[in-house]
Amino acid sequence: MTLPPLAVLRAPLILLVLALLLAVAGIVWSLQLDADARRAVETQQRALVAAKARQRQGQHEARMIETHIDAYRTLVARGFIGAENRLAWIEAVQLANRETGLYGLTYTLSPRAAAPAALAAGLPLQLTRMSVKMPLLVETDLTRFLDALRARAPGVVRVERCMLVRVAGASEVPGPDPSLEAECELAWYTLMMGKRA
């Protein structure tokens, strides 16, 4: 048997080697494309899972809003949520004083400040202190005033302290003139939505 001349087979062998190299390159390239496609699919699946989680969270928040919207609107209308309404607070103490038949009052308002962190619990809760002084005839006048204030107060108010002092020179027996003076510290609270304290 005779071997074919190498010169005659050189061109077909080169073409065969090139075809094999192209086939290997094609296989490597297709495997790389397959790996890239799999990574892209996994990325899209993770994005889809995250989007579904955000959608569920949004639906949950929408249900929460729907459930509590009436309570929220009540708090806004009452003056607890939103900007502080100092004029309404002043009118409330003056009206409570008049309705209980007392003898007038003086007041001072402090600047608004953030409420203590333990009370705010992470919410933008604001606190404005009001000091109120008023003459009284008897001790029960103070209770009647505070009850009237609570009944008509816009927003949320808390009585932090009250002190009764007998007016110098006043008689021990209640008479037509006030013999006591009350000084109370009131705390008005507002929740500033959309802002952090």
Is the same domain home to 51 and 134? no
Domain boundary at 23, 47, 78, which? 78
Same structural domain, 60 and 94: no
The per-residue pLDDT for range 88-120, each reduced to its tens digit, is 999 999 999 999 998 889 999 999 998 888 888
Query: Which tokens is 82 given?
Result: 């939103």
186 and 93 together in one domain? yes
Question: Any residues with CB less than 8 A from the CB of 189 and at least 6 apart, and which?
Answer: 80, 115, 125, 126, 127, 155, 156, 157, 158
Asked if residue 183 and residue 96 are part of one domain, the reply reads yes
Percent of the chain having pLDDT more than 70? 91
Which range of residues forms the domain containing residue 54?
A: 8-78
Domains in the chain, number: 2
Q: State yes or no: pLDDT of 196 exceeds 50.
A: no
CA distances from 101 to 29, 135, 185 (A): 94, 11, 21
pLDDT confidence tier of residue 47, bands split at 50, 70 and 90: very high
> How high does pLDDT run on average in the chain?
87
